[in-house]
């Protein structure tokens, strides 16, 4: 029994000795270590908060050593506070760096979108300019082709538009019936109108001053109508043809000579623009 008491006493003394040699764990040190570990795990820690991390680790190491040596708890707590404070500052720097990185990334993305939009606008403008240039070239070519066709018809540019003059030789004297030789000219005019579907014609009849005004008015109408009928016979729609009798009122030269009167006896075919409008009446 005495031996059992002695053994219990020895064990109690050993437990007391163990407690005496084991340092007290400071919660401040544990908290500081957790913060330092958190800072060290941040991807931007070495770049944005390296000095803070180094200082935090140094203060934590001193706190742990002071705790092991059973130094004054206030000293341990102070060193742990310093470690925590450096770790907090380091984490703030890391967060700022992350925010700047997000801003820079967003700015880069915005710039990329702006550049892409500008590139698209430039490409579109280039395409439009190229299309306009091609359209202008095509329009110029069409205009030149149209002019060549007018030249082939012997039409001339006037303030009323392109005008083709059909001389008195197409009709018998004082008659409104086209001669057989006029068919070739009528067919060429009809072919031109078929190719240019938007163009209309105004057919004006003119006479010299021989005879009464009423007679000449009627003769100019019948001759203009004969040309119109010939064109419709070649397939030109009548709604594209206007017949205008001018009589003796618009001579090109004086009627005091036979040559002058012959020039005044004429039928003029006035062509509209491609949209069907005439320059004047």
CATH number at residue 180: 3.30.1330.60
* Domain presence at residue 133: no
Query: Is 192 among the domain residues?
Result: yes
How crowded is residue 179: how many other Cβ atoms within 10 Å of its Cβ? 11
Domain final position from 68, 102, 136: 102
**151 and 58 in a common domain:** no
CA dist list (Å): 185 to 112, 158, 161, 214: 66, 20, 19, 29
Rounded Cα distance, 68 and 118, in Å: 67
Say whether 165 sits in a helix, a strand or coil: strand
Residues 160 and 261 in one domain: yes
Spell out the per-residue pLDDT of the chain, length 281, in tens.
Answer: 455 555 555 455 544 444 444 557 789 999 999 999 999 999 999 999 999 999 999 999 999 999 999 999 999 999 989 989 999 999 999 999 999 999 999 999 999 899 889 988 888 888 888 888 877 777 666 666 666 776 656 789 988 889 999 887 788 778 888 888 888 999 999 999 999 999 999 999 999 999 999 999 999 999 999 999 999 999 999 999 999 999 999 999 999 999 999 899 999 999 999 999 998 76
Helix, strand or coil for residue 241?
strand
Query: Can you give the pLDDT at residue 182?
Result: 87
Indicate if the alpha-carbon torsion angle 119, 120, 126, 129 is positive or negative: negative
**Total tally of structural domains belonging to the chain:** 2
Number of neighbours of residue 144 by Cβ within 10 angstroms: 10
Q: What is the pLDDT of residue 18?
A: 42
Classify residue 86: in a domain, yes or no: yes
Residues 149 and 168: beta-carbon distance below 8 Å: no
pLDDT value for 143: 61
201 phi/psi in degrees, rounded to 5: -130, 145
Residues in the chain: 281
* Distance in angstroms (rounded) separating the CA atoms of residues 176 and 184: 17
Token representation of residue 78? 């102070």
Burial class (CB in 10 A: 0-12, 13-18, 19+), 105: exposed
Domain containing residue 39 = 16-102
Q: Confirm whether 124 is domain-assigned.
A: no
Q: Is there a domain that residue 279 lies in?
A: no
One domain, residues 87 and 154: no
How big, in percent rounded to 5, are the helix, strand and coil portions of the chain? 65, 10, 20
Would you say residue 185 lies in a domain? yes
CA distance 127 to 98: 43
- The 8-class DSSP code of residue 235 comes to T
Prediction pTM value: 0.52
Is 74 part of a structural domain of the chain?
yes
Asked whether residue 50 is domain-assigned, the answer is: yes
């Amino acid at each position: 029994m005495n031996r059992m008491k002695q053994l219990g006493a020895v064990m109690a003394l050993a437990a007391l000795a163990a407690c005496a040699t084991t340092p007290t764990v400071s919660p401040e040190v544990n908290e500081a270590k957790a913060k330092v570990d958190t800072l060290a795990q941040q991807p931007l820690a070495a770049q944005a908060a390296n000095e803070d991390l180094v200082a935090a680790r140094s203060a934590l190491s001193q706190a742990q050593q002071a705790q092991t040596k059973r130094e004054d708890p206030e000293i341990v707590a102070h060193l742990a506070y310093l470690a925590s404070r450096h770790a907090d500052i380091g984490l703030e720097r890391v967060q700022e760096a992350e925010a700047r990185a997000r801003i820079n990334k967003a700015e880069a993305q915005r710039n990329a979108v702006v550049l892409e939009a500008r590139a698209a606008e430039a490409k579109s403008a280039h395409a439009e300019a190229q299309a306009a240039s091609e359209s202008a070239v095509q329009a110029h070519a069409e205009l030149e082709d149209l002019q060549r066709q007018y030249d082939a018809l012997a039409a001339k540019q006037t303030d009323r538009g392109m005008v083709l003059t059909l001389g008195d030789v197409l009709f018998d004297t004082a008659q409104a019936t086209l001669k057989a030789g006029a068919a070739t000219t009528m067919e060429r005019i009809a072919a031109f109108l078929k190719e240019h579907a938007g163009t209309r014609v105004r057919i004006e009849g003119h006479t010299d001053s021989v005879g009464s005004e009423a007679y000449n008015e009627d003769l100019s109408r019948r001759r203009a109508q004969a040309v119109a009928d010939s064109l419709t016979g070649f397939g030109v729609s009548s709604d594209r043809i206007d017949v205008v009798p001018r009589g003796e009122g618009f001579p090109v030269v004086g009627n005091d000579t036979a040559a002058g009167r012959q020039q005044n006896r004429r039928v003029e075919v006035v062509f509209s623009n491609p949209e069907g409008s005439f320059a004047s009446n």
